[in-house]
Structure 1
Amino acid sequence: MKQLTRTVLSAAMAAAVCATTPAMLPAFAAAPAEAKLKLPEIKYETYTLPNGLKVITHEDHRLPLVSVDLWYHVGPLNEKPGRTGFAHLFEHMMFEGSEHVGEKAHIKFVQGAGATDVNGTTDFDRTNYFETMPANQLELALWLESDRMGFLMEGLDRVKLANQRDVVRNERRQGEGRPYDVADEEMYHLLFPKGHPYYGSVIGSHADIEAARIADIRDFHQQFYTPNNASIAIAGDFDPKQLKALLEQYFGSIPQGPAVEPVNVQTPAISTQKRSTITDTVKLPRLSIGWLTPAAFTPDAYATDSAMYALGMSKTSRLDEALVLKTQVAQSVNCESQQLKLTGIASCDITAKPGVKLEDLEATFWAELKKLQDEGPTPGEVEAAKATSLTRKITGLQRLGGFGGVADTLDMYNQYTGDPGYLPKDVAAAAAVTPEAAKAAANKYLTKDSAVVIYCVPGKKVLDDVPRSPDNTDADVKITNPYTQAFEDTENWRKAVPKPGPAPTVHLPVPQSFALANGMKVLVYEQHSLPILTANVVVRAGGENNPAGKEGLSMLTTQVMGEATETRSVEQLSGAAERIGTRVGLSATMDMGGADMTVLTNHTSEGMDLLSDVVEHPAFHQEDFDRLRKRRLVGIQQETDSVAGMAQRVGPMLIYGRTPYGVPFGGTTASMESITRDDAVSFYKSRYAPGDAALVLVGDISLKEARTLAEQYFGKWTGTAAAIAPLPVPPTPSATHIVIIDKPGAPQTALFAFGVGVPATSPDLPTIQVMNYTLGGAFASRINMNLREEHGYTYGASSGFRMYRGAGPFLAGGLVRTNVTGDSAVQLMYELKRFPDNPPTEAELTEAKNSNVQSLPGVFDTTASIAGSLSSIFLYSRPLDYYATLPARYRAVTAADVARVAREYVHPDQLTIVAAGDRSKIEPGLKDAKLGPIEVRDINGKKVE
């Protein structure tokens, strides 16, 4: 239910405060057998420029990367009734181009420079923009961020505003098209009175977004997007003296804005339960219950978190135990607890199984909550909540930027507490929670009378869409620049694009490797910066090995493996993992199955014991199998809740037919009903064996320690894997045509063109990645710039190749406005048709190559991301130095290479265009598009007359 929006992709210096402060995580009381945790520290420096911009810096020279994270202290918290969504609209406008950078050039600069984690996001209390750049491109990032802070108005006109109104409303429609979204918004309407900053959606209402006018928007920017209403956190590989000089150069001359008064809105308490019933085009009804809880970083907020964790935030929480595991009356339970500036919000969403009444779910819910209030959480539940929180905080610090990274963490603490170094206090406050405090919080804040209860039931989706403003809106408005010409003349130096510094030396991971006596491969990569270990077990047990008629077997097998082992029940397995702050994740793809785990290194032994137990000794209890198979059958029915899910389900069927690549990976109703427990056991025995498996260990571990762990926990694993399935034969493509899948009332159309792609093992893969960057792989790609930025048809459109061991699908498209479905299809096909004969220009090619090369270090900033990449080395039999040599292969790509792969792998005359949406509204436009014959099919790919 949490609301967060993001843009897809973002004078002398005088210090008011200057300090170098270590933020140390305190040690927790540990059990005697527990190893001592090597705790991280974040050293930071903070100072304030004369114009009020607060600077927070953290040096980290592990990787040649630097993260720039700029937080503006503005969100819906600062909006007025009738002007909702302005902060989020500005999140988009800030990417449109500023005076010296140029129109729509911001994202091209950052992506061309090899940025990762590029985005802008809006939440109720703040808006932020961030990019993680190669270290030699720090000046470029500061140039871009300073120009849109100080010089956005000169490039902001009514045409750009109209375009981004369309884009933002497409984003809202994209949300409205998701199941239960209308009920999620109703939760906020009941928790808060109308006019409260948190009453509506962060994204704003259709009416308010469409009512935004150029004068309003410019005033909003001048009030809130100013240096004195912002903080900038910079983390990574930089020279502190040089950074200070650059900050003075780029931000120092931006004038201070008007004072922003604190928001002191009082949130009325709820003393009488509020209820509502909402209809939506969903298969299953859902019960939602929410409360107002303590605001961020208050003592009771931590205790409430622990109470909510026990109630419904762990795999075997009390609600999961009562509703999902035992009685099996609920398809899913999802609870969360979030804290904001004015208040916190706790909520639980419980989706019913077919035929189950929401009234019965609600009765069980209140009974379980009453037990929690009467007895309080157990010490084990509270310790699990603490361990999970600590793991999340420390693993987040692996990343310099992005959500939860170092720069984001420093800015977040500064935003909510005024202290960028609040981390040790945060961890200490969480550690101090007792079962008694959690019990008291449950009784104080999670009561029946203070609750909001929403029933979401199948029916018509009621939306508040409004007509688009006339094209001549704001045409007569006179725009005045905010600065004098004399000031503008002094800033003309900003027109020069900063040149990058010397290219940093890139060291990409090359694992060490050895094999156990049983044939299991082991890949090890040492990363000692934080006390974290990620362990992946990868087996060639993917969907391509599903027997005909048993599609979904590989997925179901891994799910059942994760429930229980021969010596641990589902409750024992989940509880043991959560007490050490981890979860053993089981997953399957088309090519592989396996298990993964990330754990703090003081729990390495316990974690490896759990991981090996799950992989080597799954129990396959009949009751677990039956429960998960029933859940999957219901999940297949729910796939019609989303037009995107419908299109992605049917598209491959039409290309690959009844082959593993065509039948839905998660199975069909018929295939899932045919699968038995014996099938799952047989699949496990035939595919899960050490001779066709790899253990990948990444993190704070030595090669010697890795050998010891591998031998101890996997050395005795036995079994022999059956021969791997032969590669599916690529189908004979058909001529381009259109397939409509009808979903009456859908607010958007899922429009995707499907074709045959290439295998993951193709030697052309680096060239294809360079080629697709320009076609549809980047925000500034031709497809996205056409459909989103030029025409405003979509929130985002792209293209890509799904990489399997055999030739997986190529697809291109996105979610588009219903009334322009035909026009969107024309523009999508225009870009696809012209691309082979108009491959990337020299400038586009250079940008694509630079981006692919320079963004690589950012792909390997966490142990989990490194382990995932190294897993593919085993899976596709790649050399150990595959990633280390990848930059040279990108650099070697020529224009002729790109032209060749464009002709060989982009086939606009052999595509199936799938449009999932309201047939009555989209079929006429698709007929007018004249892109090929049109037919209608159902969710199973069968023709509809």
Structure 2
Amino acid sequence: MLRTSFALAALAGTILTPIAVAAQQADQPAPLADLVRQVDIPFETFTLDNGLTTIVHTDRKAPVVGVTVYYRVGSKHEPRGRTGFAHLFEHLMFTGSENVPNFDIPLEAAGSTATNGSTDTDRTNYVETVPTGALDLALFMESDRMGYLLGAIDQAKLDRQRGVVQNEKRQGDNQPYGLVRYKLQDGLLPVGHPYRHSVIGSMADLDAASLTDVRKWFVDNYGPNNVVLALAGDIDAATARPLVERWFGTIPRGPQVAATVAEPVTLAAPVREEMADQVPTTMVMRAWTGPALTHPDSVPLAAGMAVLGGLASSRLDNVLVRDRQLAVAVSASAGQDEQLSWLSAQMEVRPGVDPAAAEAGFDEVIARLLAEGPTQDELARAATQIVSAQIGALEVVGGFGGKGSTLAEGQLYAGDPAHYKAELAQLAALTPAQVQQALQRWLGRPSYTLSVVPGARTESGDTMGGWGDEGTDPVTPAPEPAAPQITSTPRTAPEVAPVGELAFPEVERATLSNGIEVALARRTAVPKLSLALTFDAGSAADGAARAGTQSLMMEMLEEGTSTRSAVQIAEEQERLGASISTGTGIDTSSVSMSALSANLVPSLALMADIARNPAFAAGEVARVKNQRLAAIQQEQASPVGLGRRALNPLLFGEGHPYGNVGASGKPVVIEALTPEALAAEHARWLRPDTASITAVGDVTMAELVPALEQAFGNWQAPAGDKPVKDLAAATPQGQSRLVVVDRPNSPQSVLLLGRVLPLVGTEQGQEALELANEVIGGGFLSRLNMNLREDKGWTYGIGSSVAQPVGPRSFVVSTPVQTDRTGDAIRLILDDLNAFAGGKGVTEEELQRVTEGNVRGLPNRFQTNSQVLGALLANRALGRPDDYQEQLAQIYRGTDAAAIDKAAAEYLQGGALTIVVVGDRQAIEAQLQGVGLPVEYVDAATL
């Protein structure tokens, strides 16, 4: 379904006849109509007597099945006084049913991706991708919570999940511009409109939710007749039907979810509001409601909004960011729901520019597009980018954006799983006049304008997101309904059948005539490939003193070459259906490309020009420097951004290459950079003798090497030795300390706890440490998450990681926590770490999950070209063999509890941790005194 202006977010399919790499030597892109004709998701459907609709799509490329369950109920169905309840109930659905105490433990032990769910205005969904042998188990568990939930829900579970959801709300509200979503809905829709209140709801309504509400919501909405079940992957309808009938067939029908009236609203006159927030620059948003996603104008509007502000070469980008330099960031989108859409365009005003002047230019661009319409070339580029993105999405069978979701949403919203075909056909046939007329119909109406200006935040998210008439007429509590009958029929979970081993693609190798090494993993599931040109550089090439130099140089590669302007680069990518980007990791800098196989040669020619021939034009450098400085200010306004900028300099010290604030850099460094300095940086680090090329996708080595030779073969290394980074430089002695960054008016504190480990990433045989990290903080079922989130309800989520760069590794725990639990959370984290390291070793259940469960889940990890590419790049950087991923099964099975406990004791203990706290000093200072560690304070402006 077409859910956003730029990408058919849920659309995916199976290529029946891959587009051959036949006319490779032609520089013309493959015709759009040829691409569209290839997108197909064959399916079969059946409906049980109780109304459950099942869609089955067969895809045998991997031994996994995506299980996707859509319930036809979302936030628009919530009554007054109970906003946020659909989402709160989604959380409760994971706390266990009458026959399944915990949904995550059995599935992850069986090799599933973590079970997940989401709530939207129109629906609630639950997803997992499981090994084929665990499908029976997954269906049993989904059916158990559909038919056997009520006996397992109690007040304690409701209270815990209420706390989790309220912290999820605080986490969103705590971001820069975090209250905008509430203002948008309030400004566009009247009180009582089903789409007006937010999905997360208001704090007061979440507090008011009761067990009575839980029972009523379940009985009224969660019957099988309100469900679409999609199974996509290593399954067929003949096999699926008896399984579905066995587990779901006896669940009785429930009431039909009531239809809602929720039409788009035309404002009587333009509405304008201004809101102050702790942000570095003014943001202006213009918004309208639009038509339902099945409306004939839906696809034209998506294309039109892409032309306005979704493409890299959009009208807003070209005029406001590149030409007039009135803004540092722009966007436009058509977020489409079942009964209306949210049409919006926004800009972040460049610091120092008069917001009124910027807004005048903003209005001029919108008005001109409505008056003239898009050009045929603009429309073709937008359509090609959308279709190319969807060909890439064909690789995924499950999850929120996989093929199962596409089919389920087509059935749910249009009564046809193949509705995506009608959307693509309409997209391919669109004319500029049709797009112009749709834009005029909907954007020509009065708009809602919100201006967010820098200042002290005076509004609180706690009071926002609800019905909108709170305090005017108290909600009368609903009468206590009769207690529903609780089904207590015991059911036994089926055994997991044997799971297929990972079949990682074979890696072929070649060397170009100039010495660049090439690695290829051929995969033919979709007619696309992912390719990375990687250089031994990264932010470590900067160190602390030059932080931001490497990344700004890499960013400038896309801003013009000796023969192409930035606009020409963007437009050429869009015509080719390619996506070329630059990136700066800690150890490497890269130019990456996703391209249609049919357009490989011209896509590589463009990529090579970007990498080899940057212009570093003075005007473009000045513009991008201004954008980077604004981006740094945004990072400094974000609590997570502040924490990340603070942590690495404290852990590694300014004398180590890793001891910088991150790739975005320091303002003083960015301000001093000149075109000449950037050109010198490019010449020093981006050279063929520091480069390698890695490709994954639908191309043979016989096709790839000549294309690479044509693009890169005549690139010769300059004279002089290759540059080196001193990754063996000393790091500070670890110490236990608290470092506080004051961020007033923060409803949460962001915590980061870290230390440098006496290990480097290229040391082999550290898998026990990775598994120990999974036990303590590396997933939903980790000890830290189960304690702070599921038991205490103090956070929406907590995680830990053991970084694996080429040089020194680090261990970091990170989480946002509600402000009044800042000190308690720090103590609890330290207690959990010390307990694991000090004798509370891995349990039998944890051991099975992180060893055999990981083995069973290996096929899930490498469904897409980009996942395989990431694995190959890590193997190269860390000196691993090409078949490392296939060795993992034996490695995991050979790792016992003693090895995991030993790794935890050596590396994951709670001592000598630097703890960064970003929060409201006035609210947390007394709490931190009770932690018992020395406290330092850092000014956010210095980070």
- The structural deviation recorded for 1:862 is 1.1
Partner secondary structure for residue 346 of structure 2: strand
1:609 is matched with: 605
Which of 273, 276, 280 matches 1:276? 273
What CA distance in whole angstroms lies between the structure 1 residues aligned with 2:679 and 2:652? 28
Which of 140, 149, 169 matches 1:172? 169
2:812 is matched with: 811
Cα 1:503–1:464, aligned 2, differ >3 Å: closer, same or farther?
Answer: closer
1:116 is matched with: 113
674-683 or 323-332, which deviates more? 674-683
2:248 is matched with: 251
What CA distance in whole angstroms lies between the structure 2 residues aligned with 1:941 and 1:617? 36
- The question of 1:740 aligning with 2:736 is answered no
1:886 is matched with: 888
Cα 1:808–1:628, aligned 2, differ >3 Å: closer, same or farther?
Answer: farther
What CA distance in whole angstroms lies between the structure 1 residues aligned with 2:530 and 2:3? 30
- The question of 1:686 aligning with 2:688 is answered no
1:731 is matched with: 731
1:528 is matched with: 524
Cα 1:749–1:524, aligned 2, differ >3 Å: closer, same or farther?
Answer: same
1:425 is matched with: 422
What CA distance in whole angstroms lies between the structure 2 residues aligned with 1:602 and 1:124? 39
| Equivalent residue runs for 1:343-492 within 5 Å | 343-447=340-444, 449-461=445-457, 462-465=459-462, 482-483=484-485, 488=488, 491-492=489-490
2:89 is matched with: 90
What CA distance in whole angstroms lies between the structure 1 residues aligned with 2:233 and 2:512? 38
2:846 is matched with: 844
- The structural deviation recorded for 1:306 is 1.9
- The structural deviation recorded for 1:657 is 1.7
Alignment RMSD, CA only? 2.3
- The structural deviation recorded for 1:510 is 3.2
Query: Partner amino acid for 1:911?
Result: L
| Equivalent residue runs for 1:898-913 within 5 Å | 898-913=900-915
Partner secondary structure for residue 118 of structure 2: strand
1:677 is matched with: 675
1:12 is matched with: none
| Equivalent residue runs for 1:295-314 within 5 Å | 295-314=292-311
2:754 is matched with: 754
What CA distance in whole angstroms lies between the structure 2 residues aligned with 1:284 and 1:661? 30
Partner secondary structure for residue 392 of structure 1: helix
912-921 or 871-880, which deviates more? 871-880
Which of 565, 570, 573 matches 1:569? 565
1:590 is matched with: 586
Cα 1:381–1:22, aligned 2, differ >3 Å: closer, same or farther?
Answer: closer
Q: Is the 8 A contact 1:755 1:907 kept in 2?
A: no
Query: Partner amino acid for 2:362?
Result: F
Give per-residue Cα distances to partners, 1:693-718, cap 9 Å, x unaligned: 12122111122112222222222222
Cα 1:274–1:151, aligned 2, differ >3 Å: closer, same or farther?
Answer: same
Query: Partner amino acid for 2:739?
Result: V
Query: Partner amino acid for 1:841?
Result: T
What CA distance in whole angstroms lies between the structure 1 residues aligned with 2:749 and 2:913? 18
Which of 1 and 2 has higher RCO (CA within 8 Å, sep 6+)?
A: 2
Cα 1:234–1:144, aligned 2, differ >3 Å: closer, same or farther?
Answer: same
Cα 1:729–1:902, aligned 2, differ >3 Å: closer, same or farther?
Answer: farther
Which of 264, 282, 296 matches 1:267? 264
2:38 is matched with: 39
2:821 is matched with: 820
- The structural deviation recorded for 1:86 is 1.1
Identity percentage of aligned residues: 34
What CA distance in whole angstroms lies between the structure 2 residues aligned with 1:239 and 1:378? 45
Q: Is the 8 A contact 1:510 1:884 kept in 2?
A: no
Q: Is the 8 A contact 2:280 2:630 kept in 1?
A: no
Q: Is the 8 A contact 1:24 1:423 kept in 2?
A: no
Query: Partner amino acid for 1:602?
Result: A
Partner secondary structure for residue 923 of structure 1: helix
- The question of 1:151 aligning with 2:148 is answered yes
Q: Is the 8 A contact 1:39 1:531 kept in 2?
A: no
Give per-residue Cα distances to partners, 1:244-272, cap 9 Å, x unaligned: 22111111111111122222333332231
What CA distance in whole angstroms lies between the structure 1 residues aligned with 2:304 and 2:59? 37
1:537 is matched with: 533
Q: Is the 8 A contact 2:547 2:669 kept in 1?
A: yes
**Normalising by structure 2, what TM-score?**
0.92
What CA distance in whole angstroms lies between the structure 1 residues aligned with 2:308 and 2:650? 44
Partner secondary structure for residue 861 of structure 1: coil
What CA distance in whole angstroms lies between the structure 1 residues aligned with 2:733 and 2:56? 55
- The structural deviation recorded for 1:852 is 2.4
1:718 is matched with: 716
What CA distance in whole angstroms lies between the structure 1 residues aligned with 2:347 and 2:895? 51
What CA distance in whole angstroms lies between the structure 2 residues aligned with 1:514 and 1:691? 15
What CA distance in whole angstroms lies between the structure 2 residues aligned with 1:261 and 1:910? 57
Q: Is the 8 A contact 2:52 2:229 kept in 1?
A: yes
What CA distance in whole angstroms lies between the structure 1 residues aligned with 2:190 and 2:733? 56
Q: Is the 8 A contact 1:398 1:861 kept in 2?
A: yes
Matched length:
904
Query: Partner amino acid for 2:92?
Result: M
Partner secondary structure for residue 712 of structure 1: helix
What CA distance in whole angstroms lies between the structure 2 residues aligned with 1:883 and 1:574? 36
2:769 is matched with: 768
What CA distance in whole angstroms lies between the structure 2 residues aligned with 1:157 and 1:466? 27
108-117 or 835-844, which deviates more? 108-117
Q: Is the 8 A contact 2:29 2:576 kept in 1?
A: no
Cα 1:389–1:189, aligned 2, differ >3 Å: closer, same or farther?
Answer: same
Q: Is the 8 A contact 2:3 2:334 kept in 1?
A: no
Q: Is the 8 A contact 1:277 1:456 kept in 2?
A: yes
What CA distance in whole angstroms lies between the structure 1 residues aligned with 2:68 and 2:845? 28
Give per-residue Cα distances to partners, 1:668-708, cap 9 Å, x unaligned: 12222233222221221122122221212211112211222
1:14 is matched with: none
Q: Is the 8 A contact 2:316 2:331 kept in 1?
A: no
Which of 530, 547, 554 matches 1:551? 547
Cα 1:433–1:25, aligned 2, differ >3 Å: closer, same or farther?
Answer: farther
What CA distance in whole angstroms lies between the structure 1 residues aligned with 2:908 and 2:190? 53
What CA distance in whole angstroms lies between the structure 1 residues aligned with 2:909 and 2:765? 16
Q: Is the 8 A contact 2:27 2:602 kept in 1?
A: no
171-180 or 321-330, which deviates more? 321-330
710-719 or 90-99, which deviates more? 710-719
- The structural deviation recorded for 1:728 is 4.1
Give per-residue Cα distances to partners, 1:541-595, cap 9 Å, x unaligned: 2111116621111111110012112211001010000122222111111111111
Partner secondary structure for residue 684 of structure 1: helix
- The structural deviation recorded for 1:178 is 0.9
Q: Is the 8 A contact 1:25 1:424 kept in 2?
A: no
Query: Partner amino acid for 2:494?
Result: P
Give per-residue Cα distances to partners, 1:381-415, cap 9 Å, x unaligned: 10011111111222112101123211111111112
What CA distance in whole angstroms lies between the structure 2 residues aligned with 1:883 and 1:730? 32
What CA distance in whole angstroms lies between the structure 2 residues aligned with 1:40 and 1:335? 26
Query: Partner amino acid for 1:679?
Result: A
Query: Partner amino acid for 2:246?
Result: Q
Partner secondary structure for residue 539 of structure 1: strand
What CA distance in whole angstroms lies between the structure 2 residues aligned with 1:859 and 1:733? 37
- The structural deviation recorded for 1:479 is 10
155-164 or 762-771, which deviates more? 762-771
Give per-residue Cα distances to partners, 1:269-325, cap 9 Å, x unaligned: 223111111121111111011111221032211111222112111112111122111
Give per-residue Cα distances to partners, 1:55-90, cap 9 Å, x unaligned: 001111110111100001111121122211111111
| Equivalent residue runs for 1:19-30 within 5 Å | none
- The structural deviation recorded for 1:327 is 2.2
- The question of 1:800 aligning with 2:801 is answered yes
Where do 5+ consecutive residues of structure 2 fail to align?
A: 5-12, 465-478
- The structural deviation recorded for 1:532 is 1.4
